[in-house]
Amino acid sequence: MLITSAGSNPAGCAACPVHHVQNLLKLGVTMDNWNFVVALAGNPNTGKSTVFNALTGLRQHTGNWPGKTVTRAEGGFEYRGHRYKLVDLPGTYSLLAASPDEEAARDFLLFGRPDVTVVVVDATRVERNLNLVLQVLEITDRVVVCLNLMDEARRHGLQVDDRALTRELGVPVVPASARYKEGIDGVLQAISDVAMGQFVCKPRRIQNEPPELKGAVAELTTRIASVFPGLPNARWVALRLLDGDERIIQAIRKGELGELGGASPAEPATTEAAHLEGVR
Amino acid sequence: MSTSHTAQVEGILSTARTLRSELGTDFHEQLVEAVFATAARIADRAVSRPGEKARPTLDRTIDRLVTSRVWGFPLMFLLFTVMFWLTISGANVPSAWIAWLLIDKIYPLLREGAAGLGLPWWLWGLVIDGMYLATAWVVSVMLPPMAIFFPLFTLLEDFGYLPRVAFNLDWLFKKAGAHGKQAMTTMMGFGCNAAGVIATRIIDSPRERLIAILTNNFALCNGRWPTQILIATLFIGPLVPAYLGGMVSALAVVGVAVLGVVLTFMIAWGLSRTVLRGQVSTFSLELPPYRPPRILQTLYTSVIDRTILVLWRAVVWALPAGALIWLTSNIHIGGRSIAEHLITLFNPPGLFVGLNGVILLAYILAIPANEIVIPTVLMLTVLATGTTGVGQGAGVMFDLEDTNQLMALLRSGGWTLLTGINLMLFSLIHNPCSTTIYTIYKETGSAKWTTIASLMPVVLGFAVTFLVALVWRLMTGAA
């Protein structure tokens, strides 16, 4: 087991923001009795696996090429007395098109209902990465954006204003360089804040769709919301139905979507324990 | 679920269908455009480039060079030759040192200890001569080259070179009717075929994925380098003056690896035009930015993740294989050991394809782990030739540090340059190891494709070695 940092801190220390990382207890593959499920999404090759390793203490193989994570990896960590299960999703550019990777990532966000979704964003390619962030924000409110690769952005002479991004997106945006373990404390704090409801996300929704669309979306959203009260993403479901998404139509028919209105997060429908350890 | 609920759900779906037909077909595009426009507006506000410094051009310059039509392939070839050369020339000293420790120092101690305890000879023979020595050999032969090659490979991976290799090879794979991403899985196969087979999951199309699985074995995995390196050093190196020996041996190993890639293309081409016909999928491959590799972390993770894991697996297989080898050499039927009987049996077909009975038997005994082929070959050669003065007895693996002594032993076993060349070829083209076969079965879920993946390379291997032997005999006039 890969427990690397001390678990018992005096209560006084725990309150001090300087000691955030000391509050992190890396649990490796031990993740029973978790309080929160955290999903890790992002474009390919933005350093998701590096963030994953930094949080769990696992050593999932990282490599500088897109598409490296082929199975979903899971790990655990404990932060300030709460246990988190972290799920590393395959890297995708969007959640719209139908590649198996995108479907896996989307299904987990939709049916796995993570308590917090961390979207890892490449700070040198903010615009393209935001496409995915915006789509994730349509599915779930509780999002933390990890603005990774800040060191590279600096090297390329880019300035990325994380506070402006936080304002625009309505969710915490934390700058980081996971390769150098910078900003991990901020990510942890943000995950904890969102999970505990201390940061209330007001996610940016896509508004500038054509006017003739607006009416259709509004009509369908209202009807879905009335049949499935408590569904957090009725508008997104409406958009998918209008797009003729078979998977979502199926999910509605089978009642998979109906369960999402319930109070407790369900285990993902497509659970497939995939621990990468030991297969290389 | 109540009927009224079902009715409501169907109501929603039919409304959606109606609205959808009213909206027209460009709905999807409109939606994507809305997302893109929003993203662009936000990014515009949040990202700035003070001083309007132009994008660093170093990345572009490197990219232009390593993916150039003219320089891409020679650079790739050069880089891998240098890597193999560093591995070959750097591994000798630590290999000898580990062998000295495990075989010259610890082994006699274990034997003395066993004798002191009064254990029956067959028990310590099986455990110490069989299992311990097989493991010791695997560790001393495999650990140093892996500890050099894996970090080098990981540094290249970390730096961002691998996707460029895929980029360079993409059009070739496409021509062969395979998926461009197969370039990646082939690269992984150079580390370990089982890992390469698992990596084919990045290929979406089942047809192209199957091609990638069936041909991954032609990527020369690290378990086979020790064989390649030793045989190249023994047979190819001496063909040139001594100061060139190391480089020429490295080139020979690279040549075999390149032949493996060529075979990958040929088999993929054949498969995609016969049993696995279909369209080539297109995909986009993002060339990631170059990143300065973190040397220390890379060393650490590649040693832990790859070297130790691969070594551990090899050790796990070497233990039973060592026991089996010892048993076949020490159980006698009709005055001769089982191994001798088998060598006599395999000699005619072996010699026919320019190998010999010892090599074929070694490959059968070493199905669990390619790493122990060479020690098994040496051990069986001693047994078959009745050489005295080397090794420690029947079925005992041993190490010969002196190349001249090694050569003399192999020559007395009837080895020629042809045997050496064909052993290198056969080491490239034969059945996957048992771990890989099991992985193929798990990934394909099909006994049929697993059988094909296992047998096809063996048949091909015999065909190739036979052809080489034929040409050799025609050219040299030898019988």
DSSP per residue, B244-263: HHHHHHHHHHHHHHHHHHHH
Report CA-CA distances (Å) from A89 to A72, A138, A217, B117, B434: 5, 18, 29, 56, 31
In angstroms, the separation between the Cα of residue B397 and the nearest Cα of chain A is: 28
Give mean pLDDT, residues A19-29. Answer: 65
| Cα–Cα dist B343/B330, whole Å | 14
What letter represents residue B301's amino acid? T
Element of type H or E holding B9: helix B3-23
- Cβ-nearest to A61 among B13, B45, B305: B305
CB contact under 8 A, A280 and B50: no
Please check the confidence at residue A234 and state whether its pLDDT lies above 80.
Answer: yes
Please check the confidence at residue A12 and state whether its pLDDT lies above 50.
Answer: no
Length of chain A: 280
Q: Which residue has the tokens 């993409």?
A: B170
Dump pLDDT digits (tens) for B189-200: 877 788 788 778
Task: Give B-chain residues touching A72 at CB under 8 angstroms.
Answer: none
**pTM for this prediction:** 0.65
pLDDT band of B387, cuts 50, 70, 90: low
| Cα–Cα dist B81/B89, whole Å | 12
Judged by phi (left if over 0) then psi (alpha if -120 to 50, else beta), residue B355 lies in: beta
Task: Concatenate the DSSP letters of all residues of A171-221 into one string.
Answer: S-EEE-BGGGTBSHHHHHHHHHHHHTTSS---------S-HHHHHHHHHHH
Report CA-CA distances (Å) from B107 to A2, A41, B38, B343, B359: 34, 52, 70, 28, 26
What letter represents residue B202's amino acid? I
What letter represents residue B163's amino acid? P
Task: Give B-chain residues touching A224 at CB under 8 angstroms.
Answer: 12
Taking residue B69's Cβ as centre, other Cβ atoms within 10 Å add up to 8
Please check the confidence at residue B164 and state whether its pLDDT lies above 90.
Answer: no
| Cα–Cα dist B222/B138, whole Å | 12
Rg (CA), chain A: 19
Tell how far CA B242 is from the center of its chain: 29
Please check the confidence at residue B40 and state whether its pLDDT lies above 70.
Answer: yes
B121 φ, ψ (degrees, to nearest 5): -60, -35
Lowest mean pLDDT among B18-32, B106-120, B277-291: B277-291
C-alpha torsion A98→A104→A109→A111, nearest 10: 100
- With helix as H, strand as E and coil as C, how does B203-239 read? CCCHHHHHHHHHHHHHCCCHHHHHHHHHHHHHHHHHH
Contact A123, A148 (CB under 8 A): yes
Q: Which of B152, B184, B167 is nearest to B293 (CA)?
A: B152
In angstroms, the separation between the Cα of residue A67 and the nearest Cα of chain B is: 7
Please tell me the predicted confidence (pLDDT) of residue B455. 94
A–B CB contacts, 8 A cutoff, strictly below: 177
Task: Give B-chain residues touching A66 at CB under 8 angstroms.
Answer: 163, 285-286, 288
Tokens at A231, concatenated: 């569904």
Element of type H or E holding A250: helix A246-254
Q: What's A91's DSSP letter?
A: P
Tokens at B419, concatenated: 């045997």
Task: Concatenate the DSSP letters of all residues of B97-121 into one string.
Answer: HHHIIIIIIIHHHHHHHHHHHT--H
Q: Which residue has the higher pLDDT, B406 or A199?
A: A199
| Cα–Cα dist B24/B171, whole Å | 38
Average pLDDT value over all residues in chain B: 82
Please tell me the predicted confidence (pLDDT) of residue B140. 79
pLDDT band of A148, cuts 50, 70, 90: very high
B108 φ, ψ (degrees, to nearest 5): -60, -35
Please tell me the predicted confidence (pLDDT) of residue B203. 80
pLDDT band of A146, cuts 50, 70, 90: very high
Q: What is the ipTM of this complex?
A: 0.78
Please tell me the predicted confidence (pLDDT) of residue A191. 94
Please tell me the predicted confidence (pLDDT) of residue B44. 86
Burial of B317 (0-12, 13-18, 19+ CB in 10 A): buried
Give mean pLDDT, residues B311-334. Answer: 81
Please tell me the predicted confidence (pLDDT) of residue B162. 77
- Cβ-nearest to A252 among B9, B23, B181: B9
Please check the confidence at residue B297 and state whether its pLDDT lies above 80.
Answer: no
Q: Which residue has the higher pLDDT, B27 or B450?
A: B450
Tell how far CA A59 is from the center of its chain: 20
Average pLDDT value over all residues in chain A: 77
Return the top range by mean pLDDT from A149-163, B164-178, B240-254, B316-330.
A149-163
pLDDT band of A273, cuts 50, 70, 90: very low
Contact B365, B397 (CB under 8 A): no
The reply to whether B13 touches chain A by the CB within 8 Å rule is yes
Give mean pLDDT, residues B319-327. Answer: 83
Lowest mean pLDDT among A100-104, A135-139, B11-15, B208-212: A100-104
Q: Which residue has the higher pLDDT, B368 or B439?
A: B439
In angstroms, the separation between the Cα of residue A223 and the nearest Cα of chain B is: 7
Tell how far CA B309 is from the center of its chain: 14
- For a pLDDT cut of 90, what percent of chain B falls above it? 17
Taking residue B449's Cβ as centre, other Cβ atoms within 10 Å add up to 16
Dump pLDDT digits (tens) for B255-276: 999 999 999 999 999 998 888 8
Please tell me the predicted confidence (pLDDT) of residue B460. 95
CB contact under 8 A, B23 and A179: no
CB contact under 8 A, A227 and B28: no
- Cβ-nearest to A63 among B12, B40, B157: B157
Return the top range by mean pLDDT from A14-18, A200-204, B144-148, B424-428.
B424-428
Under DSSP, is residue B265 helix (H, G, I), strand (E, B) or coil? helix
Please give the residue of chain A at the shortest CA–CA distance from B156.
A64
What is the CB-side half-sphere exposure of residue B333 using CA atoms within 13 A? 7
Please tell me the predicted confidence (pLDDT) of residue A66. 54
Tokens at B7, concatenated: 């009715």
Cross-strand pairs, A85:
A37, A76
Please tell me the predicted confidence (pLDDT) of residue A3. 37
Where are the alpha helices (H) located in A4-149, listed in sequence order? 11-15, 48-56, 100-107, 126-139
Please tell me the predicted confidence (pLDDT) of residue A279. 29
Please tell me the predicted confidence (pLDDT) of residue A161. 92
Lowest mean pLDDT among A114-118, A146-150, A207-211, B356-360: A207-211
User: CB under 8 Å to A221, separation ≥6 — which residues?
Assistant: A234, A235, A238
Dump pLDDT digits (tens) for B188-236: 787 778 878 877 877 878 888 999 999 999 998 877 877 888 888 888 8
C-alpha torsion B293→B294→B298→B299, nearest 10: 120
- Cβ-nearest to B49 among A62, A157, A162: A157
Q: Which residue has the higher pLDDT, B290 or A99?
A: B290
Please check the confidence at residue B291 and state whether its pLDDT lies above 70.
Answer: yes
Contact A70, A149 (CB under 8 A): no
- For a pLDDT cut of 70, what percent of chain B falls above it? 90
Tokens at B139, concatenated: 């560790």
| Cα–Cα dist B387/B393, whole Å | 10
- With helix as H, strand as E and coil as C, how does A92-110 read? CCCCCCCCHHHHHHHHHHH
Please tell me the predicted confidence (pLDDT) of residue A36. 92
Angle of helix A211-227 versus helix B3-23 axis, rounded to 10: 170
Dump pLDDT digits (tens) for A204-216: 877 766 777 778 8
Q: Which residue has the tokens 């991004």?
A: A165
Return the top range by mean pLDDT from A228-242, B324-338, B458-472.
B458-472
Task: Give B-chain residues touching A126 at CB under 8 angstroms.
Answer: 43, 46-47
CB contact under 8 A, A134 and B199: no
Give mean pLDDT, residues B287-311. Answer: 73
Lowest mean pLDDT among B220-229, B245-254, B297-306: B297-306
Tokens at B267, concatenated: 């088999």
Tokens at B39, concatenated: 């993203």
